[in-house]
Chains A and B, each alone.
Chain A
Amino acid sequence: MSFPWANHYTPKAPLMQWIDERLPLPRLVYNAVGAGYPVPRNLNYFWNFGVLSGLALMIQIVTGIVMAMHYGANELVAFGTVEHVMRDVNGGWLMRYAHANGASFFFIVVYLHIFRGLYYSSYKAPREMVWLLGLIIFLLMMATAFMGYVLPWGQMSYWGAKVITGLFGAIPVVGEPIQTWLLGGFAPGNAALNRFFSLHYLLPFVIAGVIILHIWALHIPGSSNPTGVEVKGPQDTVPFHPYYTAKDGFGAGIFFILFAIAVYFGPNFLGHPDNYIEANPLSTPAHIVPEWYFWPFYAILRAFTFDFFFIPAKLLGVLAMFASILLLFFLPWLDTSPVRSGNYRPLFRKFFWILVLDVLVLGYCGGAPAEEPFVMISQVAAAYYFAHFLIILPLIAAFEKPLPLPGSITEAVLAKHGEAAE
């Protein structure tokens, strides 16, 4: 794998040897997430969130497959079959609450994973491909979550589907035909519900495939670390197993505790009450809001209230919303500072925390009704969001004087413990 001192797989049990000679799958696992993958010894808890994201995907796939056994993707029965799962299927309420909250927890850990990457500039060379694949996973997740939210066929499902597909309707000339084509009709109906179910079942497995690429790309340069200094030798790393499997085990325990609190004691806290009302095309909810994990983007969408000459405000909002995600793909080339870790970048660090606050404000405004003062606040916050990535970030490198970097990971670790490097 990545480092010459990595452990080599030597099967001990005869069965494993037999398998390995014919299909080197044990070797692959060993090198991917076993003792054959050397990892920097100084990773902090923010490096737990990759594994936790994978765990969240597994929870979604398992609970989702069980629920699909009881669900009917038809506009006449969908809402009722979800209630059937909740009331008549043994343990059905657990599956559904775990699945609904699992989506939220998936986004929580993925957002922490992404912001970890932003703070430590994990997107910089040679890990650009890891970052790009991660963003593709993020986009797939958003599509999957959106379509999954439509399936219970509640009021927010229906009107959310209408609003989101309506975004495509903002595209000039071809917009409305595209919207009709996406929905299979002029409004969400049976055709839309069926295709969303089909794709909602398919996309998680596409995500799993891209995760394999994501991990593969990660294993070429190896994991980054909080100092941002590359691994220099064997003293800088520990084998993934048992060191990080143990640490991830503890992280998974904390994750499960928080997840259990949500599922068992506040299962509807993150949901919207309107989705317990069956979809009704004739009654528009007072405030149509997507799930919380889309709120920052929803705020950007709604922040555009004035036409820009011949470009209608709605189209601007749609373009800006897509741009707010697509710009992340260019991050490795926008941030020119040779220093990776925010720990050694005093100016960058300040702007990073402003960005965190900014996204939280956007999220709050996105969940609030589209009225003042929330629209004005989201306009300022959205302006900062674009300025941060497209203007400030490329300029910081020119003005910033980074702090001196440690000579190596080991040196940084020993300095932390008050010892000199040998």
Chain B
Amino acid sequence: MVRIGAFLIGLFFSGWLLVSFLMGAVAYVSEPPVPTAEKEFHLHPKHVSYSFDGPLGHYDKAQLQRGFQVFSEVCSACHSLKFVSFRDLADLGYNEAEIKAIAKNWKIKTPDIDPKTGEMATREPVPSDKFPKPFANNVAAAAANNNAIPPDLSLMTKARHSGTAYVYSLLTGYQQQPAELLQKFPDVKTPAGLHYNPYFANLNLAMAPPLTAEGQVTYGEGQPKPTVDQMAKDVAAFLTWTAEPKMESRKSAGLAVLLFLLVATTLAYMSYRNIWAETKH
């Protein structure tokens, strides 16, 4: 009885799936899926190598500081960094006094209540504050940015596939819409106010190219030349740190744990062999 019922159910599901497959296959051949500009012109992130790649990789503090400089002088005008505090910058090699100064001189002020009147007011950020947001709310952000809300950048490099390379590729990937694309898909001309970038999922991005000229940010003595490529690379490194600030302790703890586990597992294997030595199995 169970087997007859099973046979019928199996026949129904398998049969209908095969019928669906055949109908789908006929439709696929008679009306092949329409190619889209996104499918054909979207590019995977460029390959780019960093000091923190691999299981032994470490952040390059000088690079993170340069990246922070790019963030504060360029990105922070529109993008928030809401999960990062000023005091976290100690990881980048800044000392307490420097962090205090960075917080105090930050262009955006921290919203707070005026201690005298109880009215909404702002004050200078202190190291324990998170980075204040450039816009009071999403409506203000959208109104100021052609209706597109600049996303928070704290987790950006973890929120995209190959995030670090993605950020780097996006920042260096702005270009004219290829003539080939317009020839093939005449309807998908980049709308006014958007910018063509093949590394962006739907190819047209609201953000205008933020890094446009060499020397846009002035790097300190002994640092590499601030080319667009270098600045993009540095800010992508900085955003990797904001997304994964504990990466170095994670990797170094991982090595110690693996070393311990290798020894422990070897001992466990030896005791297993020892206990079973006299028993055939």
Contacts and interface: CB of A to CB of B under 8 A. Distances in A.
B246 A306 contact: no
Contacts of B257: 260, 264
Nearest to A260: B257
Contact of A276 (B2, B18, B33, B158): B158
Interface string B247-265: 0001101110110011011
Most buried by A among B268, B271, B279: B268
Nearest to B156: A276
A327 B250 contact: no
A260 B28 contact: no
A336 B6 CA distance: 13
A174 interface: no
A256 interface: yes
Nearest to A88: B85
B19 interface: yes
B20 A304 contact: yes
A43 B276 CA distance: 12
Contact of A383 (B17, B254, B276, B280): B17
A308 to B, nearest CB: 6
A390 B245 CA distance: 52
A284 interface: no
Contacts of B25: 376
A102 B269 CA distance: 23
Q: How many of chain A's residues touch chain B, expressed as a range? A: 35 or more
Contact of B16 (A94, A304, A330, A334): A304
Nearest to B32: A372
Contacts of B262: 257
Contact of A273 (B13, B83, B154, B160): B160
Given A257-B261, A306-B23, A330-B2, A386 B161 contact: no
B17 A386 contact: yes
A249 B272 CA distance: 8
A372 B14 contact: no
Given A303-B17, A334-B6, A253 B269 contact: yes
B3 interface: yes
A41 B279 contact: yes
Q: What bracket does the count of chain B residues touching chain A fall in? A: 35 or more
B120 to A, nearest CB: 19
A391 B159 contact: no
Nearest to B271: A246
A242 B11 CA distance: 49
A394 interface: yes
A276 B6 contact: no
Contacts of B24: 305, 372, 375-376, 379
Interface of A: 41-43, 80, 83, 86-87, 93-94, 97, 238, 242-243, 246-247, 249-250, 252-254, 256-257, 260-261, 263-265, 267-268, 273-274, 276-277, 286, 303-306, 308, 316, 320, 323, 327, 330, 333-334, 336, 371-373, 375-376, 379-380, 382-384, 386-387, 389-391, 394, 413-414, 416-417
Going nearest first, the 4 A-B pairs with the smallest beta carbon separation are A264-B254, A390-B10, A253-B265, A276-B159
Interface of B: 2-3, 6-7, 9-11, 13-21, 23-25, 28, 33, 55, 83, 88, 151, 154-155, 158-161, 163, 201, 243, 245-246, 250-251, 253-255, 257-258, 261-262, 264-265, 268-269, 271-272, 275-276, 279-281
27 contacts: A83-B155, A87-B88, A87-B246, A94-B253, A250-B268, A254-B265, A256-B261, A257-B261, A261-B258, A263-B254, A264-B251, A265-B55, A265-B254, A273-B163, A276-B155, A276-B158, A306-B23, A327-B6, A334-B6, A372-B33, A376-B25, A383-B13, A383-B14, A386-B9, A390-B7, A394-B6, A414-B280
